[in-house]
Structure 1
């Protein structure tokens, strides 16, 4: 009946790439559904699944080149994400904390590992030192747990990530030195080559990668090309580290740090990076680790059991005491200590690299011709068992500490944040991506609702006009969906765009409007007719649409001129007028600016009078921004050109505006469009019109 089936014989292990991929993806799909009921961490479940289907289990799949390739990409992905999601400003400010933890988590295992190898297991001194290096190294296997819970910027996570890089570098340096001294190749030239190559590698990744990324992202907006570019940078960083004699994971982490300012946390690109990594690469890595586990090693000889038991106990105790010492040094909570211990206790990448190098180094031969290895077969088998045990300890401890920290943050919130309903009027496709990017970056994750609006004249019957309007809204929804954000599409038939905007503001309880900056050279009739309401802020060059919207609505309004992608901005320079802190919407617009810094990166620079600067420094959220500069600017805005002349190319300018007769109004606000043309024609800028006391609409109608 089915003649093709007669020629399709399924043999084990599977060699058909279709069946292999289908089996692995089925495991990735089923693992969370089954393990959640058993209270087994998802990551540990994938490792166990790998052991079951691997060559030492049911022998369904071999750990061949395809598994190794995907697994290597997954490991590099984990390290890249850890660098990409790190709060770099906080890391620079407290980097010495990570250095201290790195020294703790390296030195304590070394002090434990050498006596265990030399006195307990009877190894030679070179083998004992290398065994201690295995104790010291660590892998961030459980990092996806903290990433999923959104606590990657917790101090314990920052310490763990920074400490992992330090201890792995030191552990691999121990490996290089031990192999060099044991084989007699550690001469003077060896040390010069090692030092120069390491310095060059770190300098190239941290200094050159950001320049390349900035150049690329300014010129390429294609989403597929941007993602492929990121992959190239990850593997290039790993390859450069390998050339320098370092482990590739260190290069991937440094690549993440280098690309950190260029990939906003709320961007579509970040969503793609996390999605592909969590769906494909990282599961392949964990399943590949499980395939290494050989349960038969328990029954081969007593020495394997002795070595594995000594390694598991020694490593667990050493890493726990390093976490305890770090807790006391920096006054961490118990949950942070548990999280720190969990993240630092797993051993996979650097440990496997070290044990394989040590196993392959032959120091001589016995009279029977057997090779004398730097690390013998019992250490190799014991390492595989140790990987399973430490990964289990790591995932359970990390899950416990991370869940408690995440729950504590929710419980300790002072009050629920108000809902943020953002309206984005759209009239052309050129500005859709940047307007949505600003709207997402300026709002908080849990409280935002975005509305894209396109207005059609209710007197037109042209189907092409309606088709074009729907096309713009569909593009907006697609752009938001790429960042995992839902967009409400609003197609309005009205007499004009102003009436459509103001009607939606009332109907949808809009809190913010984000619109593009449209420039007009002629003096608008509306601005001339109602100067007492609008004053000069919108004046002759920003258009009658904005003038009317400001006149008829009293919500935080951001008028954006995007001349470069938001992710490539290095400084956000905010000009705040005198007495702005006394306006009703002061904290609302300030939260939007701070959200931009938290979500997209960059340095925040304020120019304001001394009294206003004091208000800007206050508040709980002000402490969440570490890279901020406050500059006293007592002169009126007429003197602004002398500051604008000092602008840099990648600065974004923010002007906090006001309506006439309000507390913070200055006559020079009407000259801002001219200042932009004369001094900042190449800079992106945002005009902020905050909520102000009184009913703007009633004054306009009067």
Structure 2
């Protein structure tokens, strides 16, 4: 009963605020979600009363349940309202124009034998009008052999700079010292203000990777850049079609125009037809963007409703490039159903060239007026808050029993 009264009271307050300030229903829900949780203040008041023997155990237990319920409700409501507010906003295609023209591609390498195909891909999608080179990054452990390894690595990478020059494209070498490659990549991407990161397909996880965390996952979580993860199994000229799979709301991501522009460039360079797997809304948004590109790139759409059955597609051939756009957790287009798709792609289409795209989440130009400070991952923060509160309350109760 206490929790119900607390939630209703906060909703009434949000409703009054909406009417006074003339907000819409979604803004009211956001206010309600942000204000409905009870934690530090109420816990302090109740503990003072409990220690003074004014309140009994029933009141203390009821307060703990109140904190639990209101924190969960607040997280869920805020997450839902923030997403719907973002979905109703429209992104101006011209907002990303300067970013595309001044793009900076970062190409980290873990194995020098795989760099040639990845560099080919980077040079294919690079905007010729961008003054920035493709930056080839090597992370070297900061140990007693660091200086010697820097010289050896720089010498090995020089031929790839010459390879880029032969195609009238610019490339440079960046070598950073870091015991953690994922940390070095994330830091360097910020230092050079890279827009796109291109990395190779991750190898199978060993026991050590599972303990300390997968390198690719750490790069995804620690950067907000557009990331291309590539498994390039054959030369690009041997492909016949480009299969692009885009989940619902992919068009609402900040990096939508960036990765779509790269797909347009790749398809144009290779003269490949594009087949888009998506829903109707994403298909329309894609058509709207592509009609402003030169040359005009025609594409066919295969509409998908059941994303669980995505890999049952019978018409994917061995000479197709499969491009799957995913999203970081908390993003508008994130879908739990797609979490295991990369592993299934590797299992069902082992010989195909595969590219995973994680669009950037934020942009210097892309802002939703009045909501720049709200993160979409509130549910995760809410759960962490609840767990911390549970530990704190447990510690307090234990100390009371000892007294």
The two structures have a TM-score, normalised by structure 1, of 0.36
In the TM superposition, residue 437 of structure 1 has moved relative to its aligned partner by 1.2
Partner deviation per Cα, 1:637-675 (whole Å, 9 max, x = no partner): x111211x4311210100001122321111122212331
Q: Is the 8 A contact 2:209 2:215 kept in 1?
A: no
CA distance in 1, matches of 2:165, 2:377: 34
CA distance in 2 between partners of 1:545 and 1:480 (Å)? 27
2:275–2:302 CA contact under 8 A, matched in 1: yes
Give 1:418's aligned residue.
Answer: 101
Deviation at 1:509, TM superposition (A): 0.9
The SS at the match of 1:631 is: strand
Answer yes or no: is the 8 Å Cα contact 2:107–2:198 preserved in 1. yes
2:320 aligned to 637, 640, 651, which one?
651
Q: Choose which of 630, 633, 645 in structure 1 pairs with 2:301.
A: 630
Given the superposition, is the C-alpha separation of residues 609 and 623 from structure 1 closer, same or farther in structure 2, using an over 3 Å criterion?
farther
Residue aligning to 1:312: none
- Within the alignment, does 1:600 sit opposite 2:270 as a pair? yes
Q: Where does residue 450 of structure 1 map in the other structure?
A: 134
2:359 to 687, 690, 694: 690
CA distance in 2, matches of 1:523, 1:622: 46
> Which of the pair is proportionally richer in helix?
1
Matched, 1:552 2:235: no
Question: Which of 1 and 2 has higher RCO (CA within 8 Å, sep 6+)?
Answer: 2
Native 8 Å contact 1:554 1:696 kept in 2: no
Alpha-carbon distance in 2 for matches of 1:614, 1:497: 39
Q: Distance in 2 between matches of 1:577 and 1:422?
A: 25
Residue 190 of structure 2 aligns with which residue?
506
Cα separation, partners in 2 of 1:671 and 1:513, compared to 1, 3 Å: same
Q: Deviations over 1:184-221 (max 9, x none)?
A: xxxxxxxxxxxxxxxxxxxxxxxxxxxxxxxxxxxxxx
Match of 1:107 in 2: none
Tell me the secondary structure at the aligned position of residue 340 of structure 2. Answer: helix
Query: Is 1:609 matched with 2:292?
Result: no
**Cα displacement (A) at 1:681:** 0.3
**1:553–1:697 CA contact under 8 A, matched in 2:** no
Within a 5 Å distance, the mapping from 1:151-550 to structure 2 comes to 418-447=101-130, 448-461=132-145, 465-522=149-206, 544-550=214-220
In structure 2, distance between residues paired with 1:613 and 1:663: 17
Gaps spanning 5+ residues in structure 2: where? 1-95, 363-373, 386-403
Cα distance change, pair 506–487 in 1 and its aligned pair in 2 (3 A):
same
Tell me what 2:332 maps to: 663
**Partner of 1:618: helix, strand, or coil?**
helix
Distance 1:525 1:579 in 2: 32
Contact 1:455 1:491 in 2 (8 A): yes
Quick one: distance in 1 between partners of 2:142 and 2:376?
27
- Contact 2:109–2:199 (CA under 8 A) maintained in structure 1: yes
Q: Distance in 1 between matches of 2:97 and 2:252?
A: 23
In 1, distance between residues paired with 2:169 and 2:240? 25
- Structure 1 pair 671–697 and aligned structure 2 pair: CA distance change class (3 A): closer
- Consecutive unaligned residues of structure 1, counting only runs of 5 or more, are 1-413, 530-542
How many angstroms does 1:504 deviate by?
A: 1.3
Alpha-carbon distance change, 629 to 635 in structure 1, aligned in 2, over 3 angstroms: same
Q: Is the 8 A contact 2:311 2:345 kept in 1?
A: no
Give the Cα separation in 1 of the matches to 2:352 and 2:346: 10
Q: Is the 8 A contact 1:579 1:663 kept in 2?
A: yes
Alignment pair present for 1:581 and 2:258:
no
Higher CA-based Rg:
1
In 1, the alpha carbon distance for the partners of 2:376 and 2:339 equals: 19
Matched-pair contact (CA < 8 Å) for 1:658–1:689: yes
Q: Note if contact 1:449-1:487 (Cα within 8 Å) is conserved in structure 2.
A: yes
Q: Deviations over 1:409-429 (max 9, x none)?
A: xxxxx9765301000001223
Post-superposition offset of 1:473: 2.1
CA contact (8 A) 2:232 2:353 kept: yes
Q: Could you state the TM-score of these two structures normalised by the residue count of structure 2?
A: 0.62
The alpha-carbon distance between structure 1 residues 588 and 462, as it changes in their structure 2 partners (threshold 3 A), is closer
